[in-house]
Amino acid sequence: MESNGSVHGGVGILGKNTTPHQQLHINTGLQAVALRATCHKTITICSIYLSPSTACNITELGDLIGQLPPPVLLLGDSNAHSQQWGSNKRSTRGKMVEDFLLKSNLSLLNSGSPTYLHPATVSFSAIGLSITHPALYLDFCWQTDSDLHGNDHYPIVIITDTPLPSFAKPTWKLHKGDWAAFSHQAALETLH
């Protein structure tokens, strides 16, 4: 599933046709898309982008989560800095996300590894967040790929040790992706 660039900037969810899923229609002003998928269990996956130039508040995040059937895996670029997930500073948005996690009883999968390399300053930060319902927390192992693949965000890899049903065996070939073209297209969609 992919979002409409004019409505949702650069968010999207890619999945295999052989994995049972259905798109969820959500009513939010945030840049987000969601689907319900059966992986090792049926979960809701939501991709979100919080632009650094657009205000966002805890109520909007709460309203979004309230529309998503649990258990939820919320993934995206938060542009929020906090020492809790590996940044060296705490921003106002970082404090808001911390409060959201506490208020909504959600768990953070991030290990503290950087998820972003700022090209101009060659500094690292952790703004790509992977948030989940506590019922899923122990199901996943979170890490970043060590190769940027031509992008400024490290790919986040979330795996599970739980056996997948036979119809959903993963066959990702990340090394064959045209990451430069994908990054360029996402940037163009964000501008429109």
Q: What's the rounded Cα separation, in Å, for the pair 175 and 147? A: 10
Q: Return the pLDDT at 81.
A: 94
Q: What is the DSSP letter of 136?
A: H
Q: Return the pLDDT at 8.
A: 36
C-alpha angle 100/130/101, rounded to 5°?
15
Q: Return the pLDDT at 183.
A: 57
Q: What is the DSSP letter of 88?
A: S
In b/e form, how buried is each residue of 121-134, taking b as 16+ CB within 10 angstroms? eeeebbbbbbbbbe
H or E stretch at 104: helix 92-104
Render each residue's pLDDT in the chain as its tens digit; 192 residues: 444 343 434 788 988 888 899 999 999 999 999 999 998 899 999 999 999 888 899 999 999 999 999 999 999 999 999 999 999 899 999 999 999 999 999 999 999 999 998 889 888 989 999 999 999 999 999 999 988 888 888 899 988 876 655 544 556 666 666 766 655 555 555 554
In angstroms, the first-to-last Cα distance of the chain is: 19
Write out the residue range of the structural domain in which residue 116 sits.
5-191
User: Total domain count for the chain?
Assistant: 1
Provide the CATH number for the domain around residue 69: 3.60.10.10
Structure-block tokens of residue 128: 């790509």
186 in Cβ contact with 76 (< 8 Å): no
Q: Return the pLDDT at 123.
A: 87
C-alpha angle 178/180/181, rounded to 5°?
70
